[in-house]
């Protein structure tokens, strides 16, 4: 199986031993309590599940600035985005242990214990520099930039011990999986080549066929559909609705035992190219050998070019930095000429009107009015779930 990033084995920071975890939970009650941001809590979940291998905790200021500028930590480890515990104020001592409380769960239970290695302040210029490098903009109307700048300017670095997986494990019991669990399941299935598909949206016909194309092209034994379960921008479809629609699609339109439907506990960054690289790192750590990156991957608005998330692997990712291979997809749509879904680059004889293409606005309008998009665009079973959701708003 493909090796994790920067290590021979995953380094999950979740404390799996129950007696040890119970003792740490008791210790946490005696520590300084800190309610962290949603982003910091999600980072803890991802560290706990092994997705951020080989990190052992939150980065320092030097690491954050280095990762932002060159996608390497101060020690030279390739990493595409800073992994931080940012706070609006902090006065901890080196070596102090603090209890990180979850902002997304009622009662704010402790999600992790952190041993503080440093507390450093970012200047306004440094905050702007990180935002520009990671998100490609400092525009506060960008949802990722807004969330980043709202967290605070104090970088609290240090190793963590993760005590739970926040709301993800309880609210998405059938879907949430750690990188450790996915690797174990891939091994049990005997899959050697595995293609991964990232989604924060429901999957329509084009997405379905794209997964099948990628499996065929790469000779993969199976596909892991890996959906983001964390916080999204306003207007995005909730995770439980996406989960239901994707499972219905897989059940009806994929060969049995060819697809794993899973999810991970992370908040969407909407960071376009940088987030595409991060997504590839996640998938390598969970055991995938190939990762699909299509048009406007992890994008929002008009901040990124249509294929910037692909070209970054040519321009900014050093050869050998990641072992996972990228499957580069073009815009995918149903061809009226050929009566099947195709990638547009593969049919140069087609005109625009030869495709069934609907804007997101048009699709939402149809679904909200109880009208299913054409079957060439969306499977009827998927459309039914989405229509029920939109009409419930």
**DSSP symbol at 127:** H
Give kind and range of the element (H or E) at residue 186: helix 179-189
For the chain, residues with pLDDT lower than 50 are none
Distance CA 13, CA 16 (A): 9
25 CB-contact burial (10 Å; exposed 0-12 / middle 13-18 / buried 19+): middle
Pairing of strands 86-87, 154-162: antiparallel
Q: Is 201 an active-site residue?
A: yes
pLDDT digits (tens, 9 = 90+) for 13-42: 999 999 999 999 999 999 999 999 999 999
Write down the catalytic residue from 21, 108, 153, 201: 201
pLDDT at residue 234, rounded to an integer: 79
- Phi, psi (rounded to 5 degrees) for 264: -135, 155
List, in order of start, the domains of the chain with CATH numbers: 18-166 (3.10.400.10), 174-264+270-392 (3.40.50.620)
pLDDT at residue 152, rounded to an integer: 97
pLDDT at residue 359, rounded to an integer: 79
Write down the catalytic residue from 97, 153, 200, 364: 200
pLDDT at residue 236, rounded to an integer: 83
Q: Is 177 an active-site residue?
A: no
């Amino acid at each position: 199986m493909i090796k994790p990033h920067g290590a021979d084995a995953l380094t999950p920071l979740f404390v799996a031993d129950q007696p040890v975890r119970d003792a740490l939970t008791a210790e946490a009650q005696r520590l300084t309590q800190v309610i962290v941001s949603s982003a910091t809590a999600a980072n803890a979940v991802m560290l706990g599940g092994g997705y951020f291998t080989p990190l052992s905790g939150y980065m320092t200021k030097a690491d954050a600035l280095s990762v932002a500028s060159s996608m390497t930590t101060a020690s030279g480890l390739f990493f595409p985005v800073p992994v931080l515990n940012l706070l609006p104020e902090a006065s901890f001592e080196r070596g102090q242990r603090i209890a990180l409380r979850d902002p997304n769960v009622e009662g704010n239970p402790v999600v992790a214990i952190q041993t503080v290695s440093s507390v450093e302040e970012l200047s306004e210029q440094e905050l702007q520099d990180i935002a520009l490098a990671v998100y490609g903009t400092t525009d506060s109307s960008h949802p990722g930039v807004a969330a980043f700048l709202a967290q605070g300017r104090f970088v609290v670095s240090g190793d963590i011990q993760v005590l739970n997986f926040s709301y993800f494990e309880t609210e998405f019991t059938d879907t949430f999986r750690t990188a450790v669990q996915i690797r174990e399941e891939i091994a049990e299935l005997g899959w050697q080549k595995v293609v991964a598909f990232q989604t924060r949206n429901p999957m329509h016909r084009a997405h379905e066929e794209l997964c099948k194309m990628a499996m065929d092209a790469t000779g993969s034994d199976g596909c892991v559909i890996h959906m983001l379960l964390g916080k999204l921008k306003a207007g995005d479809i909730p995770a439980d609705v996406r989960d239901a629609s994707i499972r219905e699609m897989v059940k009806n339109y994929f060969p049995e035992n060819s697809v794993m439907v899973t999810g991970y506990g992370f908040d969407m960054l909407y960071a376009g190219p940088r987030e595409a690289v991060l997504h590839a790192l996640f998938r390598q750590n969970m055991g995938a050998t190939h990762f699909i990156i299509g048009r406007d991957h992890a994008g929002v608005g008009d901040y990124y070019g249509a294929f910037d998330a692909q070209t970054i692997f040519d321009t900014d990712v050093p050869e050998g930095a990641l072992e996972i291979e990228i499957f580069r997809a073009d815009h995918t749509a149903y061809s009226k000429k050929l009566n099947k879904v195709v990638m547009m680059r593969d049919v140069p004889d087609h005109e625009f009107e030869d495709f069934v293409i609907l804007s997101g606005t048009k699709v939402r309008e149809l679904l909200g009015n109880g009208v299913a998009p054409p079957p060439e665009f969306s499977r009827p079973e998927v459309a039914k779930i989405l229509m029920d959701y939109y009409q419930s708003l």
